[in-house]
Amino acid sequence: MIEVHELTKRYGPVKAVDRLSFAIRPGQVTGFLGPNGAGKSTTMRTILGLDTPTSGRTLVNGVAYRTIDKPLRVVGSLLDAGAVHGGRSARSHLECLAVTNDLPRSRVGKVLEQTGLSGVARKRVRGFSLGMRQRLGIAVALLGDPPILMFDEPVNGLDPEGIVWIRNLMKSLAAEGRTVFVSSHLMSEMALTADHLIVIGRGALIADTGMADFIQSSSLNDVLVRTPQSRYLADLLTAKGAQVIAAPDGGLAVTGLTTEAISQVAAANGVEVYELARRQASLEEAYMKLTDTSVQYRATDPGKRGRR
């Protein structure tokens, strides 16, 4: 369990985290979502005692991280996969960490195997690809067999195979009853991995919700109908209990009736239909709408440039 209570972190004039509170429970993957600069990394660093809160506090399993005697046995984390001495081999890097953290050496072989690095364990990390470094960072996180795991943007820069691997690993760690907290700025990625979502913008909480609830509440469900007899069909559909509005680009946006029911009404009344399409807002769209006012760095829309 991870708890964040009224956490605020300022860097000079910048309020990176703003009275943020949430709890991350075991047995599920919790996604930590927010646009660039929202404060995800700062929050994670504070949980790991790498940053000091301006006010508020963070707890892991009920205590402050800095007071934990053998932290690798309690929390494993991947914050920056690049932070490894390039001259060392993967095995010696892990052995060194095992010795200094009083962990059994037998864990080294286990995590090398778990992360698919056994075959390259004696190679110098300097020659590792980004994906291999990422796996090594995860091996470090798993070394103490901890009940809590935190990953900051773990799929950044990975190829599709690496992404699927990390996704499955996170799910299996959660299925073992561990607390898994993973940050991302991609809703599409979280939709495939997370059971629960914490969404932040400009350091403040925007949503703390189950993934299924988020999908349910954010899906726009309507049917777009194009017909040369718009007004006539609109009246017929309204009489059947549908809500009908004019779609911005022409046609009718219909809710309350299925595509089949609309088609039957049209056919029964001799109305020609050119297009009949069920529309669902993507999760990405719903997420962008949710965080719209919190996006810190926004590019100009190239389509709008030069328009008057």
Ligand X SMILES: Nc1ncnc2c1ncn2[C@@H]1O[C@H](COP(=O)(O)OP(=O)(O)OP(=O)(O)O)[C@@H](O)[C@H]1O
Binding site for ligand X (CB under 6 A): 11, 14, 16, 34, 36-42, 185
Of 88, 30, 79, nearest to 214 by C-alpha is 30
Contact 126, 86 (CB under 8 A): yes
- If the CB atoms of residues 46 and 218 are measured against ligand X, the closer one turns out to be 46
CB of 50 to ligand X, least distance (A): 10
Q: Which is nearer to ligand X, 50 or 281 (CB)?
A: 50
Minimum Å distance from CB 16 to ligand X? 3
Nearer to ligand X, 54 or 101 (CB): 54
Q: 240-277 burial by CB neighbour count: b if 16+ within 10 A, else e? A: eebebeebeeebbbbebbeeebbbebbeeeebebeebe
Nearer to ligand X, 16 or 158 (CB): 16
Compute the least distance from the CB of residue 22 to ligand X, in Å. Answer: 15
Q: Hey, how many other C-beta atoms are within 10 angstroms of the C-beta on 109?
A: 13
Supply the minimum distance, in Å, between the C-beta of residue 51 and ligand X.
Answer: 8
Shortest separation between residue 21's beta carbon and ligand X, angstroms: 17
**Residue 141 and residue 115 in contact, taking contact as beta carbons nearer than 8 Å:** no
Pairwise CA distance, residues 39 & 48, whole Å: 14
Q: For the CB of residue 38, give the shortest distance to ligand X in the complex, in Å.
A: 4
- 133 and 82 Cβ atoms separated by less than 8 Å: yes
Which one, 40 or 91, has the nearer CB to ligand X?
A: 40
Query: Which residue, 13 or 241, has its beta carbon nearer to ligand X?
Result: 13
Of residues 37 and 147, the one with the C-beta less far from ligand X: 37
Q: Which amino acid is at 243?
A: Q
Token pair listed for 179 = 């607390």
Could you tell me the smallest distance in angstroms from the CB atom of residue 42 to ligand X? 3
Beta strands in the chain (DSSP E): 2-11, 14-24, 28-33, 55-60, 75-78, 148-152, 179-184, 196-201, 204-210, 221-226, 243-246, 252-255, 275-280
CA distance 147 to 27: 10
